[in-house]
Amino acid sequence: MNEIKLLDQNTIDKIAAGEVVDRPASIVKELVENSIDAGADAISIEIRNGGMELIRITDNGSGIRRDQISLAFLRHSTSKITDASDISFIHTLGFRGEALSSIAAVSKTQLCTKTANDLTGVIYRINGGKEQSLEDAALPNGTTVIVRDLFYNTPARLKFLKSPQTEAGYISDIVQRIAMSRPDISFKFTSNGSVRLSTSGNGSLKDAIYAIFGRDITANLLDVDDRDENLSVTGFIGKPQIARGNRSFEFFFVNGRYVGDRIIQKALEEAYTGYQMKGTFPFAVLNIAIEPELIDVNVHPSKMEIRFFDSESVFRSIYDIIRKRIIRRESIPDISLGRQESPKEERSEKKPEEKVYIPEPFEINTRKEKAMYPVFREETGYPAERERIAPAVNPLPEKAIQQTWAEIPFVSEAAKPAHRIVGEVFDTYWIVEYQEQMYIIDQHAAHEKVLYERIVKRLQEEHHYSQKLLPALILTLSSREEETLKRYAEEFRKIGFEAEHFGGSEYALSAVPADLFSLDQKLWFTEMLDDLSDVSSQAAPQILTDRIATAACKAAVKGGNILSVQQAQALIDELMTLDNPYNCPHGRPTIVSMSKYELEKKFKRVL
């Protein structure tokens, strides 16, 4: 065994630097956080060659006193805490006490700083952890830190860095996150002389999002501002139409600090279940405020991981707040016939004096009307095939009343009398006119959603509607399937299945869910048994709802099947009663809309 020796201070500093400084982006993060903690309201970030050649951070904060400068570059020096007990109550961003020391150990660093009380400022130079000079200079209030030739004295570290463009991208991500966490601070980010980001610092998070992501994202945001006994959540979430294929547009800040937390992530994504396509992820910028003593932020050197002391209650609180916000907002995608036009809020607004006609209930009396609107003979369901009777329009009756125009959502009981079914196209899509919008409803997605919600509601309320099978289906179950059936017998009963032991390994399936009678019941029943055989009791409810969603899709009226106007009206009416009528169980939209303005632009009626 080799002789044990103490490492010299220079080696210790370089090893410690590796814990904090692994790439240029980590330097930018540490220095910008120091600027924020110094009270700056304007921060400039400049880099060259992905930060490997130059990083310059300039702020108008409080600055550092001359007698404090050398101390600031020592390891474990900080102005944020005095002893270990303070760590639980940290309200600032930088407190670890190694940032400046670590940065100086692996670069050529220059600090230019001046406090408001000093007549002159100070320029301090330190290379590779060794002091070079300290001199007075005429400087504005605040601090500038210049980092040159990163890892010049540790060339092995350079091999682990990526291309300058990739490193610049990492830095851009960091700056964007910080800018969203502090919309009250003006940020300017320049890379190789080109301005990549500039925020106003006016305090508006929405304006900061606009500066970073542009018009299309900003026009499709829902504001969040709610709290419960555990925490508060503010910020913005995206409508389903701006969902992305990965999680790169999910931003979480806990007490002002950006974190990548699985609990928050899961709560957000599960809140969107049923409101967007599976395999996509929502846009979100969420600020979560929670008592500092209820979290541990010192889990990882980067401070991007935290630990909640009661993660279950945090999950439930965030899920409930986000879910409630999604449910109470009408979310119908607005489509265009070409490239994306101006957002709806920039279009010509309706005036209060404009009128909308609300028809009174009317009866079908004439022979012509009876031909156009055939009686819907079946009490429940929407048959897959129907003799075609195709009225061109559903005209408003002559007797109508006027109502002053107001912002009544399409999906509401108050709006239903003003819905005008215009007709259908391609035996699949129903067109409904309402106010200044044309709404297009996919009959398959709508029926799929209605069937799914019926069964799930009955499952939750423990009310089931079964259709008897005569004769019963005789199934031969394996011992594993038999054990699964016994374990989840009550869940099957709530859905509408009735299965009784028939002797040996055989079971008689004597009743099935009424709404899904048209399916291959034997296949669906055995597939559910197979799905449930290898899962825990906690996962079983999700498996059941997934299977119900799939079954509803198979049982729903298909595109190309012909519905009468009254069948379509009954389907649309039931769709409007749902908490989420906007998406099928798999997340596809049931309704899209196009404005009169959009059509008039295409026909050059407006410019």
Which of 327, 350, 368 is the last residue before a domain boundary? Answer: 327
Tell whether 319 and 383 lie within a shared domain.
no
Contacts 24+ apart (CB under 8 A), 294-297: 295/254, 295/255, 297/90, 297/254, 297/257
Question: In sequence order, what are the residues at sequence separation of 6 or more whose Cβ sits closer than 8 angstroms to the Cβ of residue 19?
Answer: 98, 102, 301
Exposure class string for 531-551: b at 16+ Cβ within 10 A, else e: bbeeeeeeebeebbbebbbbb
**Residue 9 in this model has a pLDDT that exceeds 70:** no
Q: What is the DSSP secondary structure assignment for residue 242, as one 8-state letter?
A: G
Tell whether 531 and 396 lie within a shared domain.
yes
Question: For residue 149, how many C-alpha atoms fall within 13 Å in the half-sphere facing its CB?
Answer: 12
Give the pLDDT mean for 552-573: 85
pLDDT tens for residues 382-421?
A: 443 333 333 434 444 444 434 444 878 888 888 888 888 9
Residue tagged 């300290």 (tokens): 134
φ and ψ of 255, to 5 deg: 50, 40
CATH number at residue 266: 3.30.230.10
Give the pLDDT mean for 122-147: 94
pLDDT of 350: 38
**Residue 367 in this model has a pLDDT that exceeds 50:** no
CATH number at residue 25: 3.30.565.10
pTM reported for the whole predicted model: 0.67
Give the pLDDT mean for 573-596: 86
In a domain, 392, yes or no: yes
Tell whether 490 and 395 lie within a shared domain.
yes
Is 490 in contact with 538 (CB distance < 8 Å)?
Answer: no
Tell whether 139 and 92 lie within a shared domain.
yes
pLDDT of 470: 82
In a domain, 69, yes or no: yes
pLDDT tens for residues 253-299?
A: 999 889 988 999 999 998 988 788 778 899 999 999 998 888 876 65
Question: In sequence order, what are the residues at sequence separation of 6 or more whose Cβ sits closer than 8 angstroms to the Cβ of residue 320?
Answer: 228
In a domain, 208, yes or no: no
**Is residue 503 classed exposed, middle or buried when 0-12, 13-18 and 19+ CB atoms within 10 A define those classes?**
exposed
Element (H, E) at 155: helix 155-158
CATH number at residue 488: 3.30.1540.20
Tell whether 455 and 555 lie within a shared domain.
yes
Tell whether 542 and 512 lie within a shared domain.
yes
Candidate ranges 382-391, 537-546, 576-585; pick with highest mean pLDDT: 576-585
Is 441 in contact with 591 (CB distance < 8 Å)?
Answer: yes
Percent of all residues in the chain with a pLDDT value above 90, rounded to a whole number:
35
Tell whether 323 and 341 lie within a shared domain.
no
* Sheet strands side by side (includes 194-198): 130-137, 121-127, 108-114, 142-148, 54-59, 42-48, 186-191, 194-198
Choose between 304 and 244: higher pLDDT.
Answer: 244
In a domain, 590, yes or no: yes
Candidate ranges 130-134, 379-383, 514-518, 599-603; pick with highest mean pLDDT: 130-134
**Residue 182 in this model has a pLDDT that exceeds 90:** yes
pLDDT of 369: 36
Tell whether 222 and 157 lie within a shared domain.
no
> Average pLDDT over the chain, rounded to whole?
79
pLDDT tens for residues 299-350?
A: 555 556 678 888 899 999 999 999 989 887 666 777 766 544 433 433 333 3
Counted domains in the chain:
3
Q: What's the Cα-to-Cα distance from 578 to each of 208, 271, 416, 442, rounded to whole Å? A: 35, 16, 14, 16
Tell whether 519 and 451 lie within a shared domain.
yes
Give the pLDDT mean for 487-504: 82
pLDDT of 11: 57
Q: How far apart are CA 408 and CA 109, in angstroms?
A: 61
Query: Which residues are registered as beta bridge partners of 244?
Result: 281
Mean pLDDT is lowest, of 82-96, 321-335, 462-476, for: 82-96
Choose between 97 and 583: higher pLDDT.
Answer: 583
pLDDT tens for residues 418-440?
A: 888 998 899 889 999 998 899 99
**Residue 112 in this model has a pLDDT that exceeds 60:** yes
Which of 171, 198, 225 is the last residue before a domain boundary? Answer: 198
Tell whether 228 and 175 lie within a shared domain.
no
Mean pLDDT is lowest, of 79-88, 161-170, 242-251, for: 79-88
Candidate ranges 50-59, 74-83, 343-352, 366-375; pick with highest mean pLDDT: 50-59
pLDDT of 54: 97
pLDDT of 212: 94
Ramachandran class of 214: left when φ > 0, alpha when ψ lies in -120 to 50, beta otherwise: left
**Residue 91 in this model has a pLDDT that exceeds 60:** no
**Residue 87 in this model has a pLDDT that exceeds 50:** no
Mean pLDDT is lowest, of 40-49, 63-72, 139-148, 329-338, for: 329-338
Candidate ranges 3-17, 130-144, 337-351; pick with highest mean pLDDT: 130-144
Choose between 56 and 80: higher pLDDT.
Answer: 56
Choose between 340 and 45: higher pLDDT.
Answer: 45
In a domain, 204, yes or no: no
3-class DSSP assignment, residue 497: coil
3-class DSSP assignment, residue 343: coil
Tell whether 58 and 191 lie within a shared domain.
yes
In a domain, 242, yes or no: yes
In a domain, 209, yes or no: no
- In this structure, what token pair is assigned to residue 473? 């289906």
Exposure class string for 29-46: b at 16+ Cβ within 10 A, else e: bbbbbbbbbbebeebbbb
**Residue 195 in this model has a pLDDT that exceeds 70:** yes
Tell whether 303 and 322 lie within a shared domain.
yes
pLDDT of 513: 81
pLDDT of 89: 47
Which of 267, 301, 327 is the last residue before a domain boundary? Answer: 327
Please give the residue range of the domain that contains residue 271.
214-327
Q: How far apart are CA 148 and CA 373, in angstroms?
A: 79
Q: How far apart are CA 529 and CA 547, in angstroms?
A: 11
Query: Which residues are registered as beta bridge partners of 295?
Result: 308
**Residue 120 in this model has a pLDDT that exceeds 90:** yes
In a domain, 332, yes or no: no
Choose between 240 and 28: higher pLDDT.
Answer: 28
Choose between 455 and 30: higher pLDDT.
Answer: 30
